[in-house]
Structure 1
Amino acid sequence: MTEPVVHEHVTDAVKTPDLVRLAPNVVLLRFETLKIHAALGAVRALLGAGVVRPGQTVVDSSSGIYAVALAMACHRYGLRCHIVASTTVDVTMRAQLEILGVTVDQMPPSDDLRLDQRRRVLRVRELVERHPDMHWMRQYHDPVHYLGYAEVAGLVAGALPGPLTVVGSVGTGSSTGGLTRSLRERGVDTRLVGVQPFGSVTFGSERFTDPDAIIAGIGSAIPFDNVRHALYDRVHWLDFQHAMAATVALLRDHAVFAGLSTGAAHLAAGWEAGREPGRTHVVIGADTGHRYTARVFARHREALDPADLAPREVDAVADLCPPWSTMDWQRRAYEPLVPAQERRKDPVS
């Protein structure tokens, strides 16, 4: 029996994921909060390089789990934290942030999450221009957020035999990109499958709308520099109903209470695992299901049966079609369409 470890700070306790086998060639990498790795890695690197100093205020925009992760990293290393929060941040998460000493700007209620995202970016720019001593963490753009995932790669490489296929929601690009890049640098044969909602500009589905989609944390209404398109071998686009079906099924079939992005990745991984049974498929489980209680789990009786669902194979983004499409991306570069509202250069590079 392994001796229990006494951690000096809670971030060390929550950062280590659990590996849960969902099928013979599918393993869930289950995090309490995935982005603790991005936040810790970034804060340590910035402090070590003298870019930020203890007592200084860091600021960023977040739809939720990065905000809590950054707050915890700041608590550990003596930094102040200001979060421009999405309208999707609930009262539970906001209370956590405030008790941790974070100052919070929350966007007004909106059913348009594209508008919510753009408002947040504009607010951060305003704050940085007004307070030059604030350091903008730029989780969407600064590659420093890749660094923390090298530790996760070491854990995965040590626990699972290759070849591997990493399956996860794209979001900022840092978790899927950072984990896969580190695994490949270790010499592990690693394919990367990204998961997107319809309506995200990241992989070209911005012409679609999905009224129920919770785009935050899975896709984006604006281009993110931390998404390295050439890292991805394959992409799945899913609508809300498909992601919800797989999220509910993950709890029903495996007793795993996880967020919507985990369910979406679980559905895509199941399809990929059937096509390539010789590879171990690693599903990134970014967070727990608590913030999806009302919009997903309370509606479990409405959930579709994942066994009845299958994607449409397409050859180009022009052929995408809801509710579920998939495409061989083949590690190609891609330039997302930049909305007119976002053509202004960031004041902090």
Structure 2
Amino acid sequence: MTTSTKSFSGNVIETLAFPTFVQVAHNLVAAKFELMKFAPAKYILDIALANGQLRPGGHVIESSSGTFALALSILCSLYDLGLTLVTGPLPDVVRWRLENLGAVLHAICDSKGCKGGLQQARLQALGELRSSIPDSFWPQQYTNPLNSLSYGPIAERALSRQQKIDVIVGTVGSGGSLFGMALVLQRENPKLEVIAVDHNKSVIFGAQPKRITKMCREAWTMLGVGSGIPMGNVNFELCDEVHWVPVPKMVQKVHDLHRRTGMLVGPSSGAALAVAEWRAARAPSQNVLTILPDGGVRYTDTLFNPAWLHNYNQDLIRSWSRPRDIASLEEVSQDWCRFAWGRRRYRDVTGSDPAPRPAGYDP
């Protein structure tokens, strides 16, 4: 790699690895990422290259349809590494970006008969592909502790801007960003309040509502928040409360943010912002930090498409000004729900241990 190429790559990496901090309200700052999963993808690949798990010119294989897939595609292109991605259904713009960057895609669109849904089906396919690609490296974003550790420098930047942060609000996918940043922020403020935001259909925090809206049922696989399988980077004992935000609320907040600021973000960002704005308004003297993990480009055919939105008119006319406090996970419903987790172990809240990690995990 020439000096000019290294300089160019360095600029790209700096731009993608760190967020822009946006003042949303007088006591609310949003860490707005261009590509949030770039930080853990880079951290994991760099360490693998340094310790020999991944050799120069080697091959990376991962299951991802979201921002981690795009981050790996960019980095493997910059690092001259091969990349195979096992994905779910992809919007055309996302498929084009991944393939344009050189990734080989294996799309799994049917999870019938597979306990754990589409994510489990993809992990099974990943296991088969790994055996056919000798010496391939698997980043294991869902369970790799380096995922959480990679967010430390981002939390430090947040602290350099705001010396004391009282509350952090973030959506939970793999669990890396919210809990990785919270661990660093808590060193400066042991009383830091950690608020996790999940999706009504997600199993991460043990809720399995029986009745949800059409939009929640049909659209949740595209959201980038929540999961149908357990996630190894979720730090339950660091979590103070959980909010389950319905998809219509996410969409309403995304549209509201664009109308106010012109910023185009995705549904995960809408979910986090809805909860963060509500929390900041309740305590004007406290400093709240929220994470906006996803841009809106991949959702141009859905969240910003009048024809697609028309399919969910009945859901979108509903509104929620505040969450409904619930006393047990059995009460999680299609509404915006809030539960005091209280930094407890998963077992202490649910009465059982988390479900076994799906076949295909071998951290």
Q: How high is the TM-score relative to the length of structure 1?
A: 0.89
311 and 187 in structure 1: CA distance in 2 versus 1, 3 angstrom threshold = closer
Q: Distance in 1 between matches of 2:230 and 2:155?
A: 26
Q: Deviations over 1:100-133 (max 9, x none)?
A: 2211111237899963222211111111233341
Q: Deviations over 1:268-324 (max 9, x none)?
A: 111211222222211211121112223222247854586x52211012212222211
Question: Unpaired segments of 5 or more residues in structure 1?
Answer: 1-5
Q: Distance in 1 between matches of 2:346 and 2:48?
A: 29
Partner secondary structure for residue 22 of structure 1:
strand
* Contact 1:197 1:213 (C-alpha < 8 Å) held by counterparts: no
Q: Distance in 2 between matches of 1:171 and 1:21?
A: 24
Identity of aligned residues (%): 29
Farther-moved stretch of structure 1 (245-254 vs 328-337) = 328-337
Give runs of aligned pairs for residues 234-245 of structure 1, distance below 5 A.
Answer: 234-245=241-252
Question: Unpaired segments of 5 or more residues in structure 2?
Answer: 1-6, 348-352
* 2:277 counterpart of 1:270: yes
80 and 189 in structure 1: CA distance in 2 versus 1, 3 angstrom threshold = farther
Give runs of aligned pairs for residues 36-75 of structure 1, distance below 5 A.
Answer: 36-75=38-77
Farther-moved stretch of structure 1 (37-46 vs 292-301) = 292-301
Give runs of aligned pairs for residues 1-349 of structure 1, distance below 5 A.
Answer: 7-9=8-10, 10-87=12-89, 89-108=90-109, 115-186=117-188, 189-208=191-210, 209=212, 210-215=216-221, 216-299=223-306, 302=313, 303-304=316-317, 308-334=320-346, 337-338=354-355, 344=359, 346=361, 348-349=362-363
Partner secondary structure for residue 135 of structure 1:
coil
* Aligned length in residues: 339
Q: Deviations over 1:144-173 (max 9, x none)?
A: 112221110111010113133111110000
* Contact 2:148 2:180 (C-alpha < 8 Å) held by counterparts: yes
Q: Distance in 2 between matches of 1:201 and 1:193?
A: 17
108 and 322 in structure 1: CA distance in 2 versus 1, 3 angstrom threshold = closer
* Contact 1:45 1:144 (C-alpha < 8 Å) held by counterparts: no
* Contact 1:212 1:240 (C-alpha < 8 Å) held by counterparts: no
Q: Distance in 2 between matches of 1:273 and 1:8?
A: 38
* Contact 1:166 1:192 (C-alpha < 8 Å) held by counterparts: yes
- Structure 1 or 2: more helix by fraction: 2
Q: Deviations over 1:246-280 (max 9, x none)?
A: 11111112322101000000111112112222222
Partner secondary structure for residue 162 of structure 1:
coil
76 and 189 in structure 1: CA distance in 2 versus 1, 3 angstrom threshold = farther
Residue 343 of structure 1, CA deviation: 5.2
Partner letter of residue 329 of structure 1? W
Q: Distance in 1 between matches of 2:132 and 2:34?
A: 35
> Paired residue for 1:3?
none
Q: Distance in 2 between matches of 1:72 and 1:240?
A: 29
